[in-house]
A and B are shown apart, each in its own frame.
Chain A
Amino acid sequence: MNFYLVSLIKIAVVFGIFMTTLAYLQWVERKVLAHIQSRTGPLRVGPHGLLQPMADVLKLLTKEDLLPPYANKVFFLLAPFIAVSLALVSISVIPFGPEINLFGTRTYMQISDLDVGILFILAISAVSVYGVALAGWSSNNKYSLIGGLRSSAQMISYELPLTLVIVSPLLLANTLSFRGITDAQAGFYLGFIPRWSIFQMPFPQIFGFIVFMIAGFAETNRIPFDLPEAENELVAGFHTEYSSMKFACFFMSEYANMVTITCVATLLFLGGWHPLFPAPYSNWVPSLVFLFFAGVFLFQLMRPSRKMDRLTYPVFAAGSVALAVLFAVPVLQTFLVPAFWFASKVGALLFTYIWVRGTLPRFRYDQLMHFAWTFLFPCALANLLLTALFVAVF
Chain B
Amino acid sequence: MDTILFLIFAIIAVACAFNLVLQKHPISSALSLIGVMSSLAVLYLLLGAEFIAMAQMIVYGGAVMVLFIFVIMLLNAESEKSSGKSWFAQIAGFPLLCALVAMFVFLIRVALPPMRDVHFGDWVGGTAEAIGMLLFTKYLLPFEVISILILVAILGAVVLARKEID
Contact = CB atoms under 8 A, between A and B. Distances in A.
B15 interface: no
A233 interface: no
Interface residues of A, number: 25
Given A119-B51, A122-B54, A137-B73, A176 B128 contact: yes
B154 to A, nearest CB: 12
B147 to A, nearest CB: 15
Interface in B51-103: 51, 54-55, 57-58, 61-63, 66-67, 69-70, 73-74
Interface string A136-176: 11000000010011001101100100000000000000001
A292 interface: no
Given A137-B27, A149-B74, A130 B69 contact: yes
Contacts of A148: 73
B27 A123 contact: no
A126 B27 contact: no
Given A133-B66, A148-B73, A116 B58 contact: no
Interface of A: 75, 114-116, 119-120, 122-123, 126-127, 129-130, 133-134, 136-137, 145, 148-149, 152-153, 155-156, 159, 176
Given A116-B51, A149-B74, A123 B57 contact: yes
Nearest to B50: A116
A349 to B, nearest CB: 24
Given A115-B50, A156-B63, A126 B57 contact: yes
Nearest to B69: A133
Contacts, number: 69
Residues of A contacting B: mostly: helix
Nearest to A123: B57
10 contacts: A122-B54, A126-B61, A127-B38, A130-B31, A130-B34, A134-B69, A149-B74, A152-B70, A159-B62, A176-B128
Given A123-B61, A126-B63, A126-B66, A133 B54 contact: no
Given A119-B51, A120-B54, A123-B57, A152 B69 contact: yes
Contacts of A123: 41, 54, 57-58, 61-62
B50 to A, nearest CB: 5
Nearest 9 interchain pairs by C-beta:
A126-B62, A123-B57, A119-B54, A123-B58, A152-B70, A126-B58, A137-B73, A116-B50, A116-B54
Given A119-B55, A119-B128, 18 more contacts: A75-B31, A115-B127, A116-B54, A116-B128, A119-B58, A122-B54, A123-B57, A126-B57, A126-B61, A127-B34, A130-B31, A133-B66, A133-B69, A134-B69, A145-B73, A149-B74, A152-B69, A153-B70
